[in-house]
Amino acid sequence: VTTDHGYVEGSAPVWEHHGTDLARASGADHARTLAATQQRGALSTLALDPPGHPFGSVVSYVLDDGGHPLMVISTMAEHTRNAAADGRASLMVSEPVAEGADPLASGRVTLLGTLGRVPDGEQAAATAQVVAALPGVGVYAGFSDFACWRLAVTHLRWVGGFGRMSWIGVDDYLGATVDPVLPRAAGILAHMNADHADAGVLLCGRAVARDDLERATMVGADRFGVDYEATAAGGVHHAVRIPFPEPAGGVDDVRRHLVAAVRAVRDPDSHA
């Protein structure tokens, strides 16, 4: 059995972990945040002909208050006919992939569940919720062959990037938080690594109590803190979590927390 991504025993790099058990956005938070910040996904249903063949199509959607996708679709569309006969379905949503970037390194989530027509009594409100988020849908939402359908999520598959993945139960998903920092993480990482590489070496050096770190790259950011990968002389790698004193409400809070943390290392006597 080869589930090792090809590492020969003993050749894998040596990693030491610091603070990686501190609070962080959960896989469910990642999944819920990704689903909440996108509006277009790939719907998989079971075809009528040949029966049971998996069939992919494109849909625009919004999440209802519980995190279940709502979509306004036509009875003329294959996916609607498929779902009317067998509601088993999934919606796959992926982060936008930058030009030239490896799509396997981007986050994506597959919401599995049952796709069914919203009951008549809830049609108007559900449709209005979709149209409010997707004004283009308003053009055809009133056509007699369109109606609002809902994917009642039962479980999820989340992939956070190359090698980071998990199954997520519906209870964890329904209780998850839309993280205000995660959708901006790519920009935060790019900025910090390009313009403030010294801050990473400083913060990680303090965290691991070493003064021989050669570089530190920010690899993650969420409302609870940021993650670095640092390399010391001799090639030992350090996975370092820098926690925030309180959850960040957005990018401005992240900046404020990081500035204060750097100041506290540089000038321990200041009252940052």
| Residues in touch with a second copy (CB under 8 A) | 2-6, 40-47, 50, 52-58, 60, 74-76, 78, 88-92, 94, 97, 102-104, 106, 108, 110, 112, 136, 139-140, 142-146, 157, 162
Q: How many CB atoms lie within 10 A of CB 148?
A: 24
Q: Smaller CB distance to a second copy: residue 7 or 269?
A: 7
User: Amino acid letter at 32?
Assistant: R
As measured in angstroms, the least distance from the Cβ of 266 to a second copy is 38
Q: Which value, in Å, is the radius of gyration of the alpha carbons in the chain? A: 22
Q: Smaller CB distance to a second copy: residue 54 or 119?
A: 54
Cβ atoms of residues 86 and 46 within 8 Å: yes
Q: Smaller CB distance to a second copy: residue 4 or 269?
A: 4
As measured in angstroms, the least distance from the Cβ of 80 to a second copy is 11
Q: Hey, which residues does 228 pair with through a beta bridge?
A: 218, 240
Q: Smaller CB distance to a second copy: residue 15 or 162?
A: 162
Q: Smaller CB distance to a second copy: residue 5 or 271?
A: 5
Closest CA to 103 of 157, 162, 60: 162
As measured in angstroms, the least distance from the Cβ of 44 to a second copy is 4
What are the strands of the beta sheet with 237-243, ordered from one edge?
15-18, 237-243, 225-232, 213-222
As measured in angstroms, the least distance from the Cβ of 110 to a second copy is 5
Q: Give the contacts of 2 (CB within 8 A, at least 6 positions apart).
A: none
As measured in angstroms, the least distance from the Cβ of 96 to a second copy is 11
Please state the φ and ψ torsions of residue 128, each to the nearest 5 degrees. Answer: -60, -35
**Cα–Cα distances in angstroms (integers) from residue 35 to residues 39, 61, 68, 149, in the given order:** 8, 9, 9, 17
H-run or E-run covering 63: strand 62-63
| Pairing state between β 164-169 and 146-161 | antiparallel
Q: Smaller CB distance to a second copy: residue 53 or 191?
A: 53
Could you tell me how far CA 68 lies from the centroid of its own chain? 16
As measured in angstroms, the least distance from the Cβ of 55 to a second copy is 5
Q: What gap in Å lies between CA 42 and CA 102, rounded to an integer?
A: 19
DSSP state of 74: E
Q: Smaller CB distance to a second copy: residue 108 or 238?
A: 108
As measured in angstroms, the least distance from the Cβ of 43 to a second copy is 7
